[in-house]
Amino acid sequence: EVQLLESGGGLVQPGGSLRLSCAASGFTLRNSAMSWVRLAPGKGLEWVSAIFGSGNTTYYIDSVKGRFTVSRDSSKNTLYLHMNSVRAEDTAVYYCAKSRYIYGYEFDYWGQGTLVTVSS
């Protein structure tokens, strides 16, 4: 059974850093593209970042480029989102999501989400 379990969220000050983790089970991370998607208060879903199965290709939305880094540890079958220089507008529930195929496509499994609050 595929499962995704996020952790690492919490309260962080503006300009601070945080690392989110997504532990995967029931499949191998390198066989799927993986994404981070966020849901800010009162807003809709927003795709944030992705890493493709090869691990060498990553993508980001413009608003987080240069501040966030997506990575994975194949030995732990875990996905990460390193968040630096966070801003108030980064406050959201962050979900990791698995694409159906190694090169992308729809998200067939999601984690339960982890809340990130950026505030002083």
Interface residues toward another protein, by CB under 8 A: 35, 37, 39, 44-47, 50, 59, 95, 97, 99-100, 104-108, 110-113
Between 59 and 67, CB nearer to another protein: 59
Least Å from the CB of residue 13 to another protein: 26
Least Å from the CB of residue 16 to another protein: 26
Least Å from the CB of residue 62 to another protein: 9
Between 20 and 50, CB nearer to another protein: 50
Least Å from the CB of residue 15 to another protein: 28
| Cα→Cα distances 32→2, 27, 40, 107, Å | 12, 9, 26, 10
Between 75 and 114, CB nearer to another protein: 114
Characterise 48 by phi-psi region: left (phi > 0), alpha (psi -120 to 50), beta (else): alpha
Counting Cα atoms < 13 Å in the Cβ hemisphere of 85 gives 7
Between 17 and 108, CB nearer to another protein: 108
